[in-house]
Amino acid sequence: MKRKKIETHKIGLVGQAPSRRGDPRKPLAGPNGKKIARLAGMSYDELIACRRRHLNTHYNGKRGKGDPFDLAKGNVKAADVLLDWRVERIVLLGKNVARCFGFRDLPFLAEISIYGRRFLIFPHPSRMNRWWNERRNERRARQLLQRFLRGETVPAEFSKSRRSARTPARTSATGTSANGSHGTLSRRKPSRISRGSP
């Protein structure tokens, strides 16, 4: 059976920040982008044809035990993405990025349908992310990323019930946590959305 082609004009990828030697004007134009392309089963040129953005424009390096990611700037850029991009599917690279879009306490590989679009919370592709140390995690990430990018849905057998306290509107999500368990999220839309939600 022939696989559905990936329609790059319908896809966006959002990362945290450029790497130390990365160019802020070319998001994912380095090793992390090549890793995502490999996992996605697409060429690097196809990946570059997708919409791409970093939520922070500069690599801030390590600051002791603190997180160098600027959430305030990230929230502003996430709102810009939601307003400006006309894409159907958006891959959020890392939990900091997911938080800027209002998705908290969801596992890696969770898929969310909201705002008329689909989002995939994908592990940050950096070698520093220990989540990638498990071979089964990489295999599962590749499988779900490729399905997501082709516009396919996750089969029902991969879903179980899961709750999140901080997802702002009607969503449905399926995913795999770091320990390999799978989850599904379903919530009803509240009467109002709290301030600061994307």
The pLDDT, as a whole number, for residue 119 is 97
Distance, in Å, from the CA atom of 92 to the CA atom of 66, rounded to the nearest integer, reads 21
pTM for the whole structure: 0.74
**DSSP labels for 14-52?**
EES---TT--TTSTT-SHHHHHHHHHHT--HHHHHHSEE
Distance, in Å, from the CA atom of 2 to the CA atom of 8, rounded to the nearest integer, reads 18
pLDDT at 147 over 70: yes
Mean pLDDT of the chain: 77
Mean of pLDDT values over 30-57: 92
Distance, in Å, from the CA atom of 104 to the CA atom of 100, rounded to the nearest integer, reads 9
pLDDT digits (tens, 9 = 90+) for 68-105: 788 999 999 999 999 999 999 999 999 999 999 999 98
The pLDDT, as a whole number, for residue 154 is 63
The pLDDT, as a whole number, for residue 23 is 72
Residue 126: pLDDT band with limits 50, 70, 90: confident
- At 49, phi and psi to the nearest 5? -75, -15
The pLDDT, as a whole number, for residue 139 is 94
Q: Which two tokens stand for residue 130?
A: 């220990």
Distance, in Å, from the CA atom of 106 to the CA atom of 99, rounded to the nearest integer, reads 9
Asked if 142 and 176 touch (Cβ cutoff 8 Å), the reply is no
